[in-house]
Amino acid sequence: MGLFTGKKGLVLGVANDRSIAWSIAQVIMSEGGLCGFNHLPDKPDDERQRNRRRVTNLTDKHPEHAKFVVPLDVQKDEDIAALVAKAKEEFGQIDFLLHSIAYATLDDLKRDTIATSRDGFKLAMEISAYSLLAVVNAAKDIFAPKASVLTLTYFGGEKIVPGYNVMGICKAALDASMKYAAFDLGPRGVRVNALSAGPLKTLAAAAVGAKDMEPLYKAMSPMGDCVTHEHVGRIGGFLLSDMSDGITAEIVHVDYGYSAMGSPGRLLDQIKT
């Protein structure tokens, strides 16, 4: 038996094979879990259904464990309701829900944070933070006892990370939303946590220049290196499994200890020389 044998749930936010959500989903499926996925809605005139194909190109390789892929625009309550209805139809109840959804326009990400447009701020906050509340509220009646919810955050919501800009504000709001959701869902036996990964090569990371952070993490972290998709996938699977049943309302950092540093650490030696 695997860690997720008999478990069913939703994985939201897979964009391609480098997505953190996909790394976690692979762990879940390899341990026997059944997953429902979403994709961004395709435009009516897109005959190739590019958004759907990006996800199904991955899930089609796991027909026994990837049970469905449906469109989801988290700005539309009817889309969220349809997703939950599909999960209820397919699974009855769900044991886990992974939320890996965030967005801000490139124009706003490239601006100084104080120059973020009003409309861009609203858009980024709605998709990146409010969507967690909207989804778990819609799904609250199909959560199984001891279900687990996990969202993906970043250190830029806790401390200033130049270049992360408005997304840092969104992640701070997401972190707070996670904690209050954990309180609201606690009486139902549902846990809610966040995973904060170090820099990884993903579409989202490319938009905020996270690749430039890798040398800094290697120089400053206690382990002297950067984590991989495999590290994050395993910890994400752990947090969505019964193995973490005493953990809720927490931000779990998977960054080789970078977030614990209060000084440049061994980087000081390089500065001195």
Question: What average pLDDT does the segment 79-94 reach?
Answer: 98
Amino acid of residue 266: R
Instruction: Express as a percent the part of the chain with pLDDT over 90.
Output: 88
- Contact of 200 with 210, CB cutoff 8 Å: yes
Parallel, antiparallel or unpaired: strands 94-99 and 66-71: unpaired
Give me the phi and psi of 4, to 5 degrees please: -115, 15
Identify whether 164 is a catalytic site residue: yes
Residue 155: pLDDT band (50, 70, 90) is very high
- Exposure letters 29-60 (e unless 16+ CB within 10 A, then b): bebebbbbbbbbbeeeeeeeeebbebbeebbe
Decide if pLDDT at 205 tops 70: no
The CA distance from 49 to 42, in Å, is 6
Domain residues of the chain, as ranges? 8-272
Identify whether 103 is a catalytic site residue: no
Choice among 103, 130, 164, 256 that is catalytic? 164
For residue 269, what pLDDT is reported? Answer: 78
For residue 46, what pLDDT is reported? Answer: 82
Residue 273: pLDDT band (50, 70, 90) is low
For residue 212, what pLDDT is reported? Answer: 77
Choice among 103, 130, 154, 217 that is catalytic? 154
- Give CATH for domain 8-272: 3.40.50.720
pTM of the model: 0.95
